[in-house]
Amino acid sequence: MKKKLNIILLILFIFLGLKLQAQLGFCTGNSGDPIFSEDFGVGYNDEPISSGSTTYNFTTGIPRDGYYKVSSNTNWFGWFNTRDHTPNDKNGRALIVNASTEPGEFFKISVSGLCENTTYEFSSWLINLFPYNHKVCGFFKNESAIPINVTFEIWDSTDTVLIKSGDTGNIKGSYAPNWEQYGLVFQTKLGQTSVILKMRNNSIGGCGNDLAIDDIMFKTCGDSVIIEDASGNKNNISLSNDELPYSTILKAAPDFSVFSTHFYQWQKSENGIDWVNIIGENRSDFSIKKISTLSYYRVLVAEDAINLLNSSCNSTSEIYKVEIPQPKERAKIREKVTRINVIDSIKLKEFKTPSIADFLDENKKVAEVINPKESIKTKKQVTIVMDGHKIINHEVWIDGALGKYVQTSEKIIKQGDINAGAIIEETIYYKTVYGYNSKKRIYNTK
């Protein structure tokens, strides 16, 4: 009987341990951009974390049991001499912890700016700094180090109510540096706009239980939502001229991976970038009628109505695109040059005011006006005529953003010149924050 009871207790203990660890996990739907992140910065110098964030002691020297440092150096006690986790960091720092001899809390930080009744994903990267094959522990100095074991806890702002917690379980040393990410999904309650993150060490100190932490993040977490039309097309339809004008019913289809309730706001865009709300369209389905132009649709989704129009709280569906046949491109019209004027060199002139008058000078240069609505950024090969003879090819960035305008002078080749009879392309280009906008004019020098 006693043996049977022991088996039951052992099974119960294992079950409870697995249940606690199973609470760790990541958002299975759409994660938003980080609303909070901590990568501990960069630099050679060791730094402390803010007061009240740890019960451990800061040191710039050897991090013994119960000590920590924010550092780019992990070369202690035969630990891995490794970089931090943050990609592309130079001398990137992480939180280096030599755990205390007794289990307990070693890190605490408040996170504000959250939305109430909203699901979030917390995540962090951890590494066991003690190599598996560095067996210097135990009485005979031939045993592996004590594994690390961390519990993540999310508390309310009063530090009295535990919202969610999860345990990594034992993380043993590895043969090579191995950063691993752990996550926890939780939901704020009514009136909750801030939480407290705590990390607890569950192992005893001594030989081992040495870790580093980096890239702590909080993100919103929502359902994956696709848009489907009445014909079963998902997120896109390409129409022919015979199908115009186009009408259908769009339906938002969430996967219920995160939200149990859904509130909607449909939006429309002409370019897939700038979105406007469609007034009154707040159901899961939406009728579009007599569409004859390129159009984009999506829907904002939130689990609570108060969060629907808050970009820090809601999530967005996939985009549904209505593609329309494009008209045939018109043939380019070439300008015939009748005036002969040799320009010795290209002179660039900056204009601060983007008006037509700015583009007219004593040589009566032709003005080009950039459409301010153009916003697509791309790279383009252009041709520039230099000194009336030399043709130089350049790659420039083309962007619709308006900035300081730069214009070339007119360049015309004399009759009888070595390049006479050639078709010369002149580029008028405009400097912007990203590079240059470019327009071409073509001359026939016959």
Q: Is the peptide bond before 103 cis (omega within 30 degrees of 0)?
A: no
Domains and CATH numbers, the chain: 22-221 (2.60.120.260), 225-323 (2.60.40), 335-444 (no CATH)
pLDDT of residue 26: 92
Closest CA to 410 of 313, 337, 334, 351: 337
Helix then strand count (H, E) for the chain reads 1, 27
Element (H, E) at 431: strand 423-431
Separation of alpha carbons 57 and 66, rounded Å: 6
**Interacting residues of 192 by C-beta distance below 8 A, sequence separation 6+:** 114, 116, 156, 157
| Cβ–Cβ under 8 Å, residues 230 and 238 | no
3-state secondary structure of 20: helix
Is there a contact between 93 and 73 (Cβ–Cβ < 8 Å)? Answer: no
pLDDT in tens, the chain (446 residues): 555 545 544 444 444 444 444 489 999 887 777 889 999 999 999 999 998 899 999 999 999 999 999 999 999 999 999 999 999 999 999 999 999 989 999 999 999 989 988 899 999 999 999 999 988 998 888 898 999 999 999 999 999 999 999 999 999 999 999 999 999 999 999 889 999 999 999 998 789 999 999 999 999 899 999 999 999 999 999 988 888 999 999 999 999 988 889 999 999 999 999 999 999 999 999 999 999 999 999 999 998 888 888 877 888 889 999 998 876 544 343 443 333 333 333 333 333 433 333 333 333 333 333 343 433 334 444 444 444 444 445 444 433 333 333 333 334 444 555 555 555 455 555 444 445 455 554 544 44
> How far apart (Å, rounded) are the C-alpha atoms in residues 387 and 187?
67
Which helix (H) or strand (E) covers residue 6, if one does?
A: helix 2-22
